[in-house]
């Protein structure tokens, strides 16, 4: 079954001159991270802060905003939603419902309840009711230039950022594209047999899977985790098995910076890109390494380990908001987040009541597990992303993310 999963990727930062974005690099990969909502006190207003602790927009908003995406953030004023840029200026107009930007596109609903995509200037690119003779019932956010849509017959296809259908609606289930590949399923209406395939952006079949395949993750670093009747393993972009299934692996994360986590007997360990186990399965949450360190949880407290499994920061914090970005991170000490260095020493006197990660996790990070500050959220191995039920699935994810974030 299709699994919709999210992972926050954090890597070494390099500040861009004159810009709030942070370009992060680790293991040859580069990613962009933008300011997150925060507030100093429980009853205070929300502003935006970056990963280095710089306040980008001073607290001025009553309702919690969404994180920045492609240089824009969503603000709600109780009656409508609108976008602001990094200077706090309003971009475009007011909407009944506004989606996060991806691939320079956002799906919005106006006061007349019409759905359409806009670009980052606020200009309308195309309306959903003009596509496929108005037969599109639901549409998702763009990923790698393509968006999943569902027609009135509950068939799934893909359209591009101009509103043209590039893969006709014929699937009963589908994942977003990752590294130019997508996992899709087609159910035969007469015998109810399900064809499971890996396709490219032209809709061409790259690999056919047998019926024993239970799930497959999105691709990251050229590999995708999967599970079938023989256990969990990894395939490459050709669909070939490169790390063979292990019966004692109950679950897997995607590879991040050359390492992945495996679940065995209820606990998590670490493997390298050859499948060699380098850390035994003794951790409550999957150790995900960034800049050589991973956050772990013991008895509801958080610390860090290195690749040898040695503790670098003792498990003493109530929450750690990020893996190490450069030489600092936010850790929750009691009710407030403080900034600490790699030894766990506080390096900033400010205390912050809340740094919001939920919208960032919902919006754009597409591998592995729901992880909030390296706290394992929920494994979605058992969540079927029914093609006709995007809204229900999104509601479930929102509920779980909010519950976990507020623990």
Choice between 372 and 299, residue whose per-residue pLDDT is larger:
299
Rounded CA separation 340/332 (Å): 10
Of 295-304, 305-314, 349-358, the poorest mean pLDDT is in: 349-358
Residue 71 has pLDDT above 60, yes or no: yes
Residue 118 has pLDDT above 80, yes or no: yes
Q: Which residues pair with 76 in a beta bridge?
A: 81
Q: How confident is the model at residue 30 (pLDDT cuts 50, 70, 90)?
A: low
Q: How confident is the model at residue 402 (pLDDT cuts 50, 70, 90)?
A: low
Write the CB contacts of 68 (distance below 8 Å, at least 6 apart in sequence).
Answer: 20, 34, 35, 36, 48, 86
Residue whose structure tokens are 């994942």: 175
Question: Reduced to 3 states, what is the DSSP secondary structure of residue 106?
Answer: strand
Question: Reduced to 3 states, what is the DSSP secondary structure of residue 54?
Answer: coil
Helix (H) or strand (E) holding 148, with range, is: strand 146-151
pLDDT at site 191: 82
pLDDT at site 373: 33
Residue 261 has pLDDT above 70, yes or no: yes
User: Is residue 26 a contact partner of residue 290, using CB atoms and an 8 Å limit?
Assistant: yes
Question: Reduced to 3 states, what is the DSSP secondary structure of residue 87?
Answer: coil
Choice between 386 and 210, residue whose per-residue pLDDT is larger:
210
| pLDDT mean over 311-337 | 83
Residue 406 has pLDDT above 70, yes or no: no
Rounded CA separation 222/273 (Å): 10
Q: How confident is the model at residue 34 (pLDDT cuts 50, 70, 90)?
A: confident
pLDDT, mean over the chain: 81
Choice between 286 and 197, residue whose per-residue pLDDT is larger:
197
Query: What's the DSSP call for residue 290?
Result: B
Q: Which residues pair with 223 in a beta bridge?
A: 220
Of 1-10, 291-300, 368-377, give the range with the top mean pLDDT.
Answer: 291-300
Choice between 300 and 249, residue whose per-residue pLDDT is larger:
249
| pLDDT mean over 271-283 | 96
pLDDT at site 365: 34
Q: How confident is the model at residue 357 (pLDDT cuts 50, 70, 90)?
A: low
What proportion of the chain, given as a percentage, has pLDDT over 70?
Answer: 78
Write the CB contacts of 132 (distance below 8 Å, at least 6 apart in sequence).
Answer: 149, 151, 165, 169
Q: Which domains does the chain have, with CATH numbers?
A: 12-405 (2.140.10)
Greatest Cα pair distance, the chain, in angstroms, is 67
pLDDT at site 186: 94
| pLDDT mean over 163-176 | 95
Give φ, ψ of 120 to 5 degrees: -70, -10
Residue 370 has pLDDT above 90, yes or no: no
Of 8-22, 266-280, 290-304, the poorest mean pLDDT is in: 8-22
Structure tokens at 107: 């799906």
| pLDDT mean over 89-95 | 92
Give φ, ψ of 94 to 5 degrees: -100, 145
Q: How confident is the model at residue 369 (pLDDT cuts 50, 70, 90)?
A: very low
Q: How confident is the model at residue 326 (pLDDT cuts 50, 70, 90)?
A: low
Q: How many CB atoms lie within 10 A of CB 90?
A: 12
Strands 146-151 and 22-26: unpaired
Model confidence pLDDT, tens digit, residues 134-155 = 889 889 989 999 999 999 999 9
| pLDDT mean over 308-327 | 83
Residue 361 has pLDDT above 60, yes or no: no
Q: How confident is the model at residue 395 (pLDDT cuts 50, 70, 90)?
A: low
pLDDT at site 363: 40
Write the CB contacts of 268 (distance below 8 Å, at least 6 apart in sequence).
Answer: 261, 262, 281, 283, 284, 285, 286, 287, 376
Alpha helices in 364-405 (DSSP H): 390-405
Residue 379 has pLDDT above 50, yes or no: no
Give φ, ψ of 3 to 5 degrees: -120, 130
Helix (H) or strand (E) holding 341, with range, is: none
Residue 133 has pLDDT above 60, yes or no: yes
């Amino acid at each position: 079954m299709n699994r919709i999963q999210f992972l926050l990727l954090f890597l070494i930062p390099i500040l861009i001159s004159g810009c709030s974005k942070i370009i992060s690099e680790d293991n040859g990969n580069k990613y962009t991270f933008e300011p997150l909502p925060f507030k100093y006190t429980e009853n205070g207003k929300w502003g935006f802060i970056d990963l280095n602790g710089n306040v980008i927009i001073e607290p001025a908003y009553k309702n919690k905003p969404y994180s920045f995406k492609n240089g824009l953030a969503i603000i709600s004023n109780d009656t409508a939603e609108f976008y602001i840029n990094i200077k706090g200026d309003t971009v475009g107009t007011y909407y009944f419902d506004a989606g996060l930007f991806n691939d320079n596109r956002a799906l919005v609903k106006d006061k007349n309840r019409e759905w359409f995509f806009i670009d980052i200037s606020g200009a309308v690119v195309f309306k959903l009711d003009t596509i496929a003779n108005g037969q599109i019932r639901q549409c998702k956010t763009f990923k790698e230039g393509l968006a999943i849509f569902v027609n009135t017959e509950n068939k799934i296809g893909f359209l591009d950022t101009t509103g043209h259908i590039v893969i006709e609606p014929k699937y009963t289930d589908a994942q977003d594209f990752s590294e130019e590949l997508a996992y899709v399923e087609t159910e035969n209406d007469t015998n109810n047999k399900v064809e499971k395939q890996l396709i490219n952006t032209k809709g061409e079949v790259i690999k056919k899977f047998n019926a024993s395949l239970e799930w497959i993750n999105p691709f990251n670093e050229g590999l995708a985790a999967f599970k079938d009747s023989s256990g969990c393993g990894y395939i490459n972009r050709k669909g070939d098995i490169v790390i063979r299934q292990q019966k004692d692996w109950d679950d897997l994360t995607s590879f991040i910076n050359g390492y992945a986590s495996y679940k065995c007997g209820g606990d998590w360990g670490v493997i390298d890109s050859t499948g060699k186990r380098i850390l035994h399965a003794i951790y409550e949450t999957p150790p995900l390494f960034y800049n050589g360190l991973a956050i772990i949880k013991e008895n509801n407290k958080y610390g860090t380990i290195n690749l040898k499994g040695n503790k670098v920061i003792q498990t003493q914090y109530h929450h750690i908001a990020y893996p190490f970005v450069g030489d600092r991170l936010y850790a929750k000490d009691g009710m407030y987040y403080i900034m600490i260095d790699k030894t766990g020493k506080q390096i900033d006197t400010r205390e912050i009541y809340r740094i919001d990660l939920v919208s960032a996790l919902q919006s754009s990070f597409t591998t592995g597990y729901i992880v909030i500050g390296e706290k394992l959220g929920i494994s979605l191995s058992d969540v079927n992303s029914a093609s006709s039920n995007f809204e229900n699935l999104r509601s479930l994810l929102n509920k779980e993310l909010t519950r976990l974030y507020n623990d």
